[in-house]
Structure 1
Amino acid sequence: MNYIKRNLENVVRQVTREYPVLLVTGPRQVGKTTMLQKLMEGTERGYVTLDDLNERNIAKTDPELFLQLHKPPVLIDEVQYAPELFTYIKINVDKNHEPGAFWLTGSQVFKLMQGVQESLAGRVAVLSLTSLSQAEISGGTMKPFTVDLEDLSERQKEREQADTREIFERIYQGSMPAIVSGINSNSQLFYSSYLSTYIERDVRELSDAIDSLKFLRFITAVAARCGQMVNAAEIARDADINQTQAKDWLTILETLGIIFYLHPYSNNLLKRLVKTPKLYFYDTGLVCYLTKWSSAETLECGAMNGAILENYVVAEIRKTYLNCGKEPYLYYYRDKDAREIDIVLEHDGILNPIEIKKTANPGTELVKVFELLDKASTPRAKGAVICMKPGLSAIDRDNYIVPVWMI
């Protein structure tokens, strides 16, 4: 298997020199352990996984003994199974003050974060690893995506150009390392086993009263609504569960790093805005599997092509920030008159409005809606339409046309 270099490696090296504890969270099978084991090569760091039931039992029942058996520097995999360890890691850290003593991985983001925040506040650097980004797959370097002409021109030079067919191939195949690296050539078979082996098992860890068939119906109903405002009532109806269950199960999907939300942009000068978040998957291959598209060609021509393309672009922009160890400030805009801006990117005291369209020739009508942000207290800067045009271009002085492959 060819190892695919991860952008987060640079951040891992940096925080290992500065913090005693590093925690890498993210869903199953995205390469957390593979990346850290690669970085461990040639060092004295030990490795232990709490997927091993014997090791898990010791960690839970006698954490002090566990840390005597596995002395730092050490990588502890799937640490969410033994939150009892956190207090003893804290004691060790406070006693020895050793940078990079503990590397931890975990697949249950928020549940895990609570335990970490309570015990290791100020001692831990928390990083998120997602499935592979476009830049990682094509071997490009990664910086957070901004609507800046110099930055966009740089991206155009180093990214691998792709046409509409190739973009939809990427969307359909998904971005899990096992598929991209060629270990699993059949993405549909991979996602079938991924759902039954990993998601189901981790879901049971968080809620053992879940019926497998109902959960599959539920996650399929969620996938069918990617890029839409969350409607728990509709999801519950399709999955034959009640709304409370639907909301609880959405929290589980978010906790496992399968989905994320874009919240509506608002400030006190903008009135009559909606308050419901929009829902996205980190990996579009899973969406395509759940919504039963048989090929990239049928997806490209199908009814969901716009929604899944939007999901892909939003997820890719989010990854450019997370892979640099930064938190993205991404929102969407929608008012009560249903006027909408797909992405509002906030950074450095400005707002960049972004539209996503499956067209190669976007017109000026697409950027008219950007003027809605002029009433916001934060100034509006350059806008962009991310679309299928082959190269970087512009609609006018204030609005750029950015190809999807350049993100």
Structure 2
Amino acid sequence: MREAIDYLPRRAASLVYEALDDTRVVVINGARQVGKSTLAERVWRNAPNGVARFLDDPTVRVSAHDDPIRFVQHPGLMLIDEVQRVPDLWLAIKHVVDRDPRPGRFLLTGSARLLGLRSLPDALPGRSETIELWPLSVGEIDGHEDGFVDASFDQGADLRSEWLGLRKKDYLALAARGGYPEAVKRTAPKRRQRFFEAYVADLLARDVQQVADIARASEMRRLISLLAGQTAGLLNINRLANELQVSNPTVRHYVDILETIFLVRLLPGWSANATTRAVATPKVIFVDPGLAGYLTTGTGAAPLGGLLENFVLSEICKQLTWSNTPARLFHYRDRDQYEVDGVIENNAGEIIGIEVKSAETVRSEDFRGLRLLQRRLGDRMRAGFVLYCGSESLSFGDGLTCLPISALWTTRSGEE
């Protein structure tokens, strides 16, 4: 039996247990090396009469391929790790759970967006729930609350945060650390860089090929570097195609692959009837800012402000997977050059605007884009926050507040 070393509790664990209580098949999905297998094993060990199957074992994989129906027969919870390695298992699982619809039958893990893989049949709609696991959040690593998303909708612009003494250099260090558990454990920068180097090589050699046939891996590697150089910027297909000397459709295809394997996330442009001049082009962020920082180390390609913005937006994305407030993250930019780095919209249509500043002071001009949204949205605009590298939590007018970036993970949600 495998043992997790230096395990850090994951907020997704409670989501997995809740899903197993009423759902036949639960999938833990996410990037390679974010801790899916470790989390799944801890859940499995707590299940009575559970069994685990690890498809990175060649013997186990051959058995699953040769006799998938018998492979998935078990009266209790079955954990199948890296399930995308044997696509035939999906139909076998469907066969089993359709005949025995008890909840908590299967716990599956995978390193790509499973239903987007070309080799997998669309076999489990209505029978499964997917829990998306991101790299570790700062709160998970350092033992803080990670309650900003819920608190921002609950308290609006009245939200305040205690300063932890962090400055710009500290936030950049946190961004460079990232959240992959193995990278977090490596405190020496050179050792962490070696992890990132191997990580990218493994993605190109395994995950990319799992999703699509890429004849020229060098083009994909170059694209990853170019995207890191403009992290938290708009996705400019034309510029990337010119840089790579390939067609626009090829670039779009490559970016889709990178999103499928959880390397990057595209944040849609936000718009509403009140803001018809909005630009629809998505913004690109890396799922892990530490990897983005590694890819631009020594190149001067990525401004530190872009890496810091990526750091903040990725922390918000992590919280959205477990927050009590159902919401989505967008960005806003219009043809008049007004922009807001992050726009969080809940199911009621309420908006939290986020601006990220690398400075340790805040000016009135930093709220320019937030004020525009506030004027146009009225009561729909719950609050606008400038998150910055300074120490104070201060009001800048009705509905507008500046907070230290650390408010993201030190804020306690209402239910806590």
* TM-score between both structures, scaled by the size of structure 1: 0.89
Q: Which residue of 2 aligns with 1:389?
A: 390
Task: Give the partner amino acid of 2:314.
Answer: A
Instruction: Provide Cα deviations, 1:45-72, integer angstroms capped at 9, x if missing partner.
Output: 211122233433433343112223x664
Instruction: Provide Cα deviations, 1:89-118, integer angstroms capped at 9, x if missing partner.
Output: 122112222221100011111545898893
Counterpart mapping for 1:1-400 below 5 A:
1-43=5-47, 44-68=49-73, 72-109=76-113, 111-112=115-116, 118-143=122-147, 145=149, 146-148=151-153, 150=155, 156=161, 162-182=166-186, 186-293=191-298, 304-324=303-323, 328-347=327-346, 348-373=348-373, 374-376=375-377, 379-400=380-401
Deviation at 1:352, TM superposition (A): 1.8
Tell me the number of residue pairs that the alignment of Structure 1 and Structure 2 aligns. Answer: 399
> Equivalents in 2 of 1:58, 1:288: separation in Å?
41
Residues 314 and 176 of structure 1, relative CA distance in 2, 3 Å threshold: same
Deviation at 1:153, TM superposition (A): 8.4
Residues 95 and 143 of structure 1, relative CA distance in 2, 3 Å threshold: farther
Residue 276 of structure 2 aligns to a residue in which SS? coil
Deviation at 1:125, TM superposition (A): 1.2
Higher deviation after alignment, 285-294 or 382-391: 285-294
Deviation at 1:23, TM superposition (A): 0.4
Residues 143 and 121 of structure 1, relative CA distance in 2, 3 Å threshold: farther
> Equivalents in 1 of 2:383, 2:192: separation in Å?
38
> Equivalents in 2 of 1:327, 1:90: separation in Å?
29
Task: Decide whether the 8 Å contact of 1:322 with 1:328 is kept in 2.
Answer: no
Residue 53 of structure 2 aligns to a residue in which SS? strand
Instruction: Provide Cα deviations, 1:150-199, integer angstroms capped at 9, x if missing partner.
Output: 58988846x95532222111111221101213498611100011111234
> Equivalents in 2 of 1:72, 1:241: separation in Å?
51
Deviation at 1:32, TM superposition (A): 0.4
Instruction: Provide Cα deviations, 1:298-352, integer angstroms capped at 9, x if missing partner.
Output: x8xx961111111111111111111448764111111112211111211233112
Residues 148 and 378 of structure 1, relative CA distance in 2, 3 Å threshold: closer
Structure 1 gap ranges (5+): none
> Equivalents in 1 of 2:145, 2:286: separation in Å?
23
Structure 2 gap ranges (5+): 409-416
Residues 140 and 121 of structure 1, relative CA distance in 2, 3 Å threshold: same
Instruction: Provide Cα deviations, 1:2-29, integer angstroms capped at 9, x if missing partner.
Output: 1111111111111111111110100100
Residues 115 and 230 of structure 1, relative CA distance in 2, 3 Å threshold: same
Residues 123 and 281 of structure 1, relative CA distance in 2, 3 Å threshold: same
Residue 279 of structure 1 aligns to a residue in which SS? strand
Task: Give the partner amino acid of 1:169.
Answer: A
**Superposition RMSD in Å:** 2.7
Residues 117 and 303 of structure 1, relative CA distance in 2, 3 Å threshold: closer
Task: Decide whether the 8 Å contact of 1:25 with 1:128 is kept in 2.
Answer: yes
Residue 126 of structure 1 aligns to a residue in which SS? strand
Residues 65 and 155 of structure 1, relative CA distance in 2, 3 Å threshold: farther
Residues 20 and 143 of structure 1, relative CA distance in 2, 3 Å threshold: farther
Task: Decide whether the 8 Å contact of 2:26 with 2:107 is kept in 1.
Answer: yes
Instruction: Provide Cα deviations, 1:112-169, integer angstroms capped at 9, x if missing partner.
Output: 5898893222221111001011111111233361535758988846x95532222111
Instruction: Provide Cα deviations, 1:247-272, integer angstroms capped at 9, x if missing partner.
Output: 11100110001111111111233222
Identity of aligned residues (%): 28
Deviation at 1:395, TM superposition (A): 2.0
> Equivalents in 2 of 1:67, 1:78: separation in Å?
14
> Equivalents in 1 of 2:302, 2:102: separation in Å?
55
Task: Decide whether the 8 Å contact of 1:215 with 1:239 is kept in 2.
Answer: no
> Equivalents in 2 of 1:362, 1:66: separation in Å?
60
Task: Decide whether the 8 Å contact of 1:318 with 1:328 is kept in 2.
Answer: no
Higher deviation after alignment, 181-190 or 42-51: 181-190
Task: Decide whether the 8 Å contact of 1:47 with 1:74 is kept in 2.
Answer: yes
Task: Give the partner amino acid of 2:67.
Answer: D
Deviation at 1:286, TM superposition (A): 0.8
Task: Give the partner amino acid of 1:164.
Answer: K
Task: Decide whether the 8 Å contact of 2:351 with 2:382 is kept in 1.
Answer: yes
> Equivalents in 2 of 1:393, 1:117: separation in Å?
52
Task: Decide whether the 8 Å contact of 1:129 with 1:323 is kept in 2.
Answer: no
